[in-house]
Amino acid sequence: MANDKKTRPLLNAKSYEFQIMTEIQRAKIILKHLNKTYPKIKVPLRSRNVFTLLISVLLSAQCTDVNVNNVTKNIYPKYYRPHHFLKLGRKKIEKLIKKIGIFRIKAKSIYNLCRILEEKYNGKVPKTFEELEQLPGVGHKTASVVMSQGFGHPAFPIDTHIHRLAQRWGLTNGKNVIQTEKDLKRLFPKKYWNKLHLQIIYYGREYCKARDCYGMTCKICTSCYPNRKKPIITKKP
């Protein structure tokens, strides 16, 4: 964690008045609490190799992980390589994923993506952000998930949960997801990123949901903001 020797003490020993914490101090408390709450963390999207992980992440846009898993559990036992999907063709891919939102657009992306993987990468998923982000239907967030969960490369994919929680915990001003990613990468050491982004997502789903919160119900906020008086307003991505 970044050097925080110069930060103010959390508690004034004489007056016992809490001081305003720095971002670094809050980040330390949050990390400790999340490690305690989720010592082990499971990747929520099921896959059988990096390629199927890429497909699942692509399918998860505007769709829940549970829904994606329910659909892919009937696909991946049989189709799990780019050439399998190419052989199927767009129409059949549409049929297989029709229970998922915007399935026509996603089927088109999957088909075109498989074609590129076969033609340019010998059927393999490329291992760099630049190459991944050039694939159809793959943005920076999807590329970050694949780099992190597929290749174990340090990355910090920012979804709506992470964007919301980082604001509520005072780790970013929430200007946009690019800024949130920069701020979180600055505050947490690289070695924690891959686990931490999942821990924050799980915490957001379980405790810190999208509805308004006064920020006084969980240990994280009561520890980081003991004097909080106003409800927290967060900006959407």
DSSP state of 146: I
- Give DSSP secondary structure letters for 46-73: --SSHHHHHHHHHHTTTS-HHHHHHHHT
Dihedral of the alpha carbons of 115, 151, 176, 217, in degrees to the nearest 10: 130
Binding-site string for ligand SF4 from residue 95 to residue 134, where x marks contact by CB under 6 A and - marks none: ----------------------------------------
State yes or no: residue 213 binds ligand SF4 (CB under 6 A): yes
Using CB atoms within 10 Å of the CB of residue 44, give its burial: 0 to 12 exposed, 13 to 18 middle, 19+ buried: middle
Handedness of CA 64, 67, 71, 72 (dihedral sign): positive
Which range, of 45-53, 78-86, 148-156, 210-218, touches ligand SF4 by CB under 6 A? Answer: 210-218
State yes or no: residue 30 binds ligand SF4 (CB under 6 A): no
State yes or no: residue 41 binds ligand SF4 (CB under 6 A): no
Chosen residue from 166, 168, 183, 192 binding ligand SF4 by CB under 6 A: 168
Q: Total residues contacting ligand SF4 (rule CB under 6 A)?
A: 11
Chosen residue from 27, 30, 171, 208 binding ligand SF4 by CB under 6 A: 208
Chosen residue from 19, 128, 173, 217 binding ligand SF4 by CB under 6 A: 217
Determine the Cα–Cα distance for residues 192 and 197; give it in Å rounded to an integer: 8
Radius of gyration of the chain (CA): 20
Q: Considering only CA atoms, which of 82, 74, 78 is closest in space to residue 55?
A: 82
Q: Phi and psi for 25 in degrees, rounded to 5?
A: -65, -40
Which range, of 8-16, 35-43, 90-98, 205-213, touches ligand SF4 by CB under 6 A? Answer: 205-213
Whether 55 contacts 111, CB under 8 Å: no
State yes or no: residue 218 binds ligand SF4 (CB under 6 A): yes
Chosen residue from 90, 160, 207, 223 binding ligand SF4 by CB under 6 A: 207
Q: How far is the CB of 213 from ligand SF4 (least distance, A)?
A: 3
State yes or no: residue 198 binds ligand SF4 (CB under 6 A): no
Would you call 232 helix, strand, or coil by DSSP?
Answer: strand
Q: How far is the CB of 229 from ligand SF4 (least distance, A)?
A: 13
| Closer to ligand SF4 by Cβ: residue 22 or 234 | 234
Contacting positions for ligand SF4 (CB under 6 A): 168, 207-208, 213, 215-218, 220-221, 232
